Amino acid sequence: MSKHKKIKEQQLKQQQIKQKIKVIGISKTGRKIIIAGIILLIFGFFILTKTDPEGQNWASVISPFLIVGAYIIIGIGIIFPEKKQEQIQ
């Protein structure tokens, strides 16, 4: 085999390996979920500013649930999988 053929074979193998490797990241839907979680988090902290010092009003009750719920939504957005697309052959 000539050098040229060996180089072409190596390049072909590298391309096949690159096609098999899938980059794992946050999906588009996951990003939207994360953005919604961040908006809810900001809203939760805004409601938290409306609490009274004794913590006996509606804002004191609702804001912890909003903040914790926002962090849960952000976590879901991070692990949300990508939709699998069918290949047309």
Q: Which pLDDT score is estimated for 72?
A: 97
Residue 88 lies in a domain: no
Residue 34 lies in a domain: yes
DSSP class of residue 31 equals H
Residue 4 lies in a domain: no
66 pLDDT above the threshold of 70: yes
The parent domain of residue 70 ranges over: 26-80
Residue 63 lies in a domain: yes
Q: Which pLDDT score is estimated for 12?
A: 77
Report, as an integer, the average pLDDT of 5-28.
Answer: 73
21 pLDDT above the threshold of 90: no
Number of domains in the chain: 1
Top pLDDT among 57 and 15 is at: 57
Residue 14 lies in a domain: no
Residue 3 lies in a domain: no
Residue 48 lies in a domain: yes
Task: Report DSSP letters for 43-87, one per residue.
Answer: HHHHHHTT--TT--SHHHHHHHHHHHHHHHHHHHHHHPPPPPPPP
Residue 2 lies in a domain: no
Which pTM was predicted?
0.67
Which range among 66-70, 73-77, 84-88 shows the weakest confidence by mean pLDDT? 84-88
Computed over every residue of the chain, the mean pLDDT equals 84
